[in-house]
Amino acid sequence: MAPNPDIMRAIAQLDYRVTAGDVAAKTGMELQTAEQGLLALAADVGGHMQVSDEGELAYAFPRGMQGILQSKYFRLRLQEWWNKVWGVLFYIIRISFGIVLIASIVLILLTIVAIFIAINSQSRDNNRGGGFGGNMGGNRIFVPTFWIGPNWFYAFQPPSQRRYYRQTQTRFGEEPKMSFLEAIFSFLFGDGNPNADLEERRWQTVATVIRNNGGTVVAEQIAPYLDDLGGSTSQELEDYMLPVLTRFNGRPEVSPEGHLVYRFPELQVMAKEHGARSVAAYLKELPWRFSEASSGQLMGAIALGAVNFVGALALGSLLRDAAIAELGGLVGFTSGIFGFLLAYAVAFLGVPLARYFWVQWRNQKVEVRNEQRQERAVALNQADDELQKKLTFASEFATRTLVTEKDLAYTTERDLTEQEIEQKDKIDEEWQKRLEGL
């Protein structure tokens, strides 16, 4: 079983001595998963189980466990290497769309110039003005030139190895977060889901709320962090609490008035005392952004896309002449791939346009869910008498259990026989003190 990186990270953040409840509260994962992961990791790195007099379990790990695992598992080293390689490959993929765009523009312009040169050359050889469509206005050709982008050497540099132009910052009032070629990819496809870690944030927050309340909560305290609570019947029966109970091994308690509260014994156990941690009043999803690129970079991408599209249309009109289409060399090559060039030009502007409306639609959904969770948080803060009674009943079960090293009945760090002798001596001393007190 490969070590869970989330568990390893939580152990390091909690100073290498944890309970399953500590890890579940820190990561938001299921208690059973956390316990299995701790057992497997302890076996891999030489960690130790510690059992208190009351039967509670804690796990102690060596501080160098990451190094132990890296030396023990070739797979981890291979994964680490692949992560670095993939970072480079993904960067190449990101800039490749910008490279194709620039190559398309250059190829279209050079082909148009080559066509005009061929036409003018034919007109010099044929004073009758036939050939490829007549004299295009004499033997002199005017080829317009214009700047189609920023410093391309700069555009190829990764973000960590470049400095941004002061002119760009001054003109648009913001500092670019990526190179221009990366911005083209962002313009086309965006920058990923801003809520990719939503489930992790959800369960971390839920576990923290439970711990902050001594391991016992009411459903209304958890509702601001959940999504769809179901219909009115499901909400009345509090069915939406079932996934929380399953994940953190909780159980309901019923008050004399018939109100339900939910107790999570494992989350009441911790290896060290932790104060209440601040949490948001409700789980807030981040809105989707069209692009993280600066406004200047987006304007540049749109301008290049427009140049590419207009150039493709102009080239297409020229290639309709059968005589021109039959030219060899650069013109023949471009004519052969013209379908791809035109499709890329259309998609370069069409995909972002469609994605813009899709982002607006997604953000409307996100806003609705955020408003629903916010309303539940407001209802909790304005608790009525019935809810106050539930909260009071829940507080009766609130408690925290510390598994301190002084309370240990057993630990795998030491020989079992030695510990049994110490336990026997400890019991004898306690009985001796009781007898002396009589």
Domains of the chain, earliest start first: 1-72+404-438 (1.10.10.10), 76-193+288-336 (no CATH), 198-284+369-395 (no CATH)
What phi, psi does 143 have (nearest 5°)?
A: -105, 110
Q: Give the pLDDT confidence of 55-85 residue by residue, as tens digits.
A: 677 888 888 888 777 777 676 678 778 888 9
Assessment of whether the complete model's pTM goes beyond 0.85: no
Q: What is the pLDDT of residue 416?
A: 54
Mean pLDDT within 377-399 = 90
Mean pLDDT within 383-392 = 90
425 falls in which pLDDT band (50, 70, 90)? Answer: low
> Helix, strand, coil proportions of the chain in percent (round to 5)?
65, 5, 30
Residue 125 has pLDDT above 80, yes or no: no
349 falls in which pLDDT band (50, 70, 90)? Answer: very high
266 falls in which pLDDT band (50, 70, 90)? Answer: confident
Show the DSSP H helices in 241-282 as ranges: 242-248
Neighbours of 152 (CB within 10 A): 13
Can you spell out the DSSP letters for 70-128?
HHH-HHHHHHHHHHHHHHHHHHHHHHHHHHHHHHHHHHHHHHHHHHHHHHHHHHHH-TT
Task: Region of 373 please: left (phi>0), alpha (psi -120 to 50) or beta.
Answer: alpha
> What is the rounded CA–CA span in Å between residue 217 and residue 375?
19
Q: Which residue has the higher pLDDT, 207 or 161?
A: 207
Lowest mean pLDDT among 19-33, 79-93, 264-278, 285-299: 264-278
176 falls in which pLDDT band (50, 70, 90)? Answer: low
